[in-house]
Structure 1
Amino acid sequence: MFHSSPQAVLDAFLSVVATFKPIDVIDVLILTGVIYLLLKLIRETRAGQLVKGIIFLVAGYFISKALDLKVVSYLLQKTLSMGVLAIIILFQPELRRALEKAGRSKFGIRLFGLGINSNEMKEKWTPAIDAICDSCVELSASCTGALIVVERQVRLGEQIETGTILNATPSKEVFGNIFYPKTPLHDGAVIMRDGIILAASCFLPKPAKDALINKKLGSRHRAAIGMSENSDAIVIVVSEETGQISVAINGELTRDYTRDKLRLLLEDQILNDKTEISIGKKKLFSSRSERRKKEK
């Protein structure tokens, strides 16, 4: 067993503090930030349970060493020696999502020079936004199901390959023909890039927490949530049962959109790209409250 007096612990602590340098502060802050991001990443996911298992093994190793259990400590040591490789394999989906999120952050976009200027964005997307809003209202009135994905920084090549390439200029007539129930392209999602309907009848990924999603939501809404979890895309859904218009961003679904609300959201998210959606508080977007303050 290990025996340490309070004075010995204090002396060890003071010796560490005495050798502490300013660069060590940066070192500790970076390590703290990495640990925080990892904990935030694995919280409420399958990885969280795996981390608990690893902590259990580490604790078992130190206890077996303290009790001088040679066989147990040997086996645990060999198991932990492969820990880094095991973590990479087991946490592959979570690590991939973390790296994708870092790459599509504003810092990552600016660092690698991605994106186009605001004038080009407005020129490409203003007529497209009008077409999306007009189409969704018309499809909503006839309770015609629709699923429209607006691609942003994260390219959706994997999903585009599952569909049919169109390269069509968006309009309510084109959307109406695509989502008409008796056409071959209606079953799937439309993916838009640079203000153009790039592909139709595309398959989207399932949500990570499918079991936790409201059972009343259909396959289109689930696909919308899944796509928004795996990318920074804006996904618009029209329900064929109720005609309700919904939008999924960052894995969160907001509902009951009118034409004006949908237009304002798309303009803020695509042209300005500076707002966030809050489901719990029923906020559509932060800039709307700012506009109200200015109006007052």
Structure 2
Amino acid sequence: MAEIQGGNPKVDLGLKIFIGIDLGVMLMIFLHSQFGLSIPWVTPRHKLNNPLAALLVALFLRGLVNPGYRETWLARIRTVVLNSPQRLYLLGGLLAAEGFLEFMWFRAPEDFRWNLNAEQGYGTHFSTLQLFLVGLVVLICSREEGPDAPLKQKAPWYLLCSMYFYIGFDDCVGIHENFIIWSQKFAPNAKAFHFVHEWLWFYGPFALAVAAYLVYFFLKRFMGNWKLIGTLLFALSLWVGVLVLEGVAKNIVDPVSLDASRFWIGVEEGFEMVGATLFLFGFSQHLIASKNKINR
């Protein structure tokens, strides 16, 4: 068990209790949803999204207040992404899970648990956990700059880490969905505005700005390592492809047919999941290169 070193024992204990309760709640919701187990207070409207988001926030906060816990788990993650065959098992497992989720989407699209478009099913939960892991790996990458590196040198890594955390959190609790509700309420008759999914008007410009910054950061930070740059840029292009597919979905793809809509939703979600896996692969390559450089 990780010892608290310079942390806050009372807050840490409170977070441990909360995490335990939250995991219990998630287990009951899962058993009710997946197997139909009758649990008095659990109803079909209860989903795993909010408890999962709360769990990840609590784990992150526990890492802040308990340095021993934080260092233990970051070291474990670093070991997995640095060493074979653990790294290959992780990446292979992620790809296998993505393939299974895609298979179940086409096999049972009406089942909300496997609906990749509903953001209340296992696909969303998987993506949230995956992006949380990518964010932690990026946090580990920031440490490769050295303990005495100035904040200016580490800040891009912190920004990148925050981006992955936020995207995963947004996926889980549906922050962007609120933009659709607000826009339909305040501008119900603006046909041009509602031509695409409304959240794109708010997130689209920001996402493109982030993409441009990432291209700049990747080229500047990894100059000379063209395989790594290529991997990260390909992952980024898949995520840009998600925005493009979202943009054409509402009034171009969806009206064609239900099958066409399902197919392109599968492609879009596949782009998002595989892109995240490629980001993870790319950053693990950076960690391996840094380790090899130190060992020379």
With the shorter chain as reference, the TM-score category is under 0.3
Q: Would you tell me which structure has more strand in proportion to its own residues?
A: 1
Q: What is the TM-score with the length of structure 1 in the denominator?
A: 0.27
Q: Considering fraction of residues, name the structure with more helix.
A: 2
